[in-house]
């Protein structure tokens, strides 16, 4: 069993979807939680209540991770309320499905700002706390197959995910001894951001999965995140762990 009792974790974008599942997994393992959200205050408060019912502390922070000032204020809140941060899950991503050839500079910069630069701001700002962690601190980012496959109308988000993975590897090199930084690359999970792809997309993904015999769930992703947040992964550094039931390596 993974016991993360006494550790404090911040999960960005935890009001819904994969971020929510990650927050619950970490709370089940014993973490106190800082839950970041932007618009879904009701869902975020419900999640905080669930975490508290598990006997953990839960603090809510409304912050737009695309805004460096918001990240700064969120980390100042963590310092004031907890004076500790051991785990950071950088989960938020943005971006519409559109062809790269009709993507504006503004759209490009906005997606890169939220999906890539936010991770750098978060890690840079959180480093003083992470370095004081008892044991190794853990940072996990969430990626997708857009980083290693060409997917229809996914070029901008895909490019941002490739950049996110490269950024994580280079941060791992720069930070070295103090912190583990890794990525979980998830296959297709039905959430609010993917539901519009339609049942055929999910059926096709599930049919390429070699294991599972069921659609991929946010909890499957959260399980991998939990591993990378635990001492079991202390010697895993700068890696991208793929959780897709083997769909991504299944030849057609
Ligand atoms: N779903 C998939 O199939 C899949 C596959 C691979 C990777 N991923 C990755 O997994 C991560 C989560 O995706 P998801 O499908 O779970 O998304 P989702 O269900 O749409 O949830 C997105 C979450 O991010 C928050 N958020 C969005 N913009 C934000 C901002 N600027 N600042 C702070 N919070 C913000 C939302 O908060 P509010 O609602 O409070 O605004 C919400 O909690 C993303 O990095 C995505 O690329 C997803």
Pocket test for ligand 1, best of 60, 63, 93, 147 (most atoms within 8 A of CB): 93
Measured in angstroms, how far is the CA atom of residue 73 from the centroid of ligand 1?
20
What residues does 179 pair with on adjacent strands? 137
| Domain layout of the chain by residue ranges | 8-245
Question: How many other CB atoms sit within 10 Å of the CB of residue 73?
Answer: 14
Pocket test for ligand 1, best of 92, 202, 218, 220 (most atoms within 8 A of CB): 92
Instruction: Name the fold adopted by 8-245.
Output: Rossmann fold (3.40.50)
Measured in angstroms, how far is the CA atom of residue 39 from the centroid of ligand 1?
12
Q: Which two tokens stand for residue 43?
A: 């869902």
User: Which residue's alpha carbon is nearest to atom 30 within ligand 1?
Assistant: 64
Q: Which has the closest alpha carbon to 140: 32, 3, 238, 30?
A: 238
User: Which residue's alpha carbon is nearest to atom 13 within ligand 1?
Assistant: 18
Pocket test for ligand 1, best of 193, 202, 219 (most atoms within 8 A of CB): 193
Q: Which atom of ligand 1 is nearest to the CA of 142?
A: 45
Q: Which atom of ligand 1 is nearest to the CA of 18?
A: 16
Q: What is the pLDDT along the chain (252 residues), one digit of tens a residue?
A: 899 999 999 999 999 999 999 999 999 999 999 999 999 999 999 999 999 999 999 999 999 999 999 999 999 999 999 999 999 999 999 999 999 999 999 999 999 999 999 999 999 999 999 999 999 999 999 999 999 999 999 999 999 999 999 999 999 999 988 999 999 999 999 999 999 999 999 999 999 999 999 999 999 999 999 999 999 999 999 999 999 999 999 987
Looking at the whole model, is its pTM more than 0.75?
Answer: yes
Residues catalogued as catalytic: 154, 161
Measured in angstroms, how far is the CA atom of residue 228 from the centroid of ligand 1?
19
Q: Which atom of ligand 1 is nearest to the CA of 65?
A: 32
Burial group, residue 173, by CB count within 10 angstroms (0-12, 13-18, 19+): exposed
Measured in angstroms, how far is the CA atom of residue 142 from the centroid of ligand 1?
9
């Amino acid at each position: 069993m993974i016991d993360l009792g006494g550790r404090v974790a911040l999960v960005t974008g935890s009001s819904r979807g994969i971020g929510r599942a990650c927050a619950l997994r970490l709370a089940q393992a014993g973490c106190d939680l800082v839950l970041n959200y932007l618009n879904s205050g009701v869902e975020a408060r419900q999640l905080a209540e669930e975490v508290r019912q598990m006997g953990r502390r839960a603090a809510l922070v409304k912050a737009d991770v695309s805004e460096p000032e918001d990240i700064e204020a969120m980390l100042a809140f963590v310092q004031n309320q907890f004076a500790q941060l051991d785990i950071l899950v950088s989960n938020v991503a943005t971006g519409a499905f559109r062809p790269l050839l009709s993507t504006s500079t503004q759209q490009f910069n906005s997606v890169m700002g939220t999906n890539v630069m936010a991770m750098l701001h978060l890690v840079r700002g959180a480093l003083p706390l992470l370095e004081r962690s008892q044991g190794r601190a853990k940072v996990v980012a969430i990626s997708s197959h857009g980083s290693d496959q060409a997917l229809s109308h996914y070029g901008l988000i895909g490019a941002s995910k490739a950049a996110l993975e490269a950024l994580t590897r280079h941060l791992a090199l720069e930070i070295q001894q103090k912190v583990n930084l890794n990525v979980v690359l998830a296959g297709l999970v039905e959430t609010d951001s993917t539901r519009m792809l339609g049942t055929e997309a999910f059926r096709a993904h599930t049919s390429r999965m070699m294991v599972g015999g069921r659609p991929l769930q946010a909890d499957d992703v959260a399980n991998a995140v939990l591993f990378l947040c635990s001492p079991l992964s202390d010697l895993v550094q700068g890696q991208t762990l793929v959780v897709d039931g083997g769909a991504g390596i299944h030849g057609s």
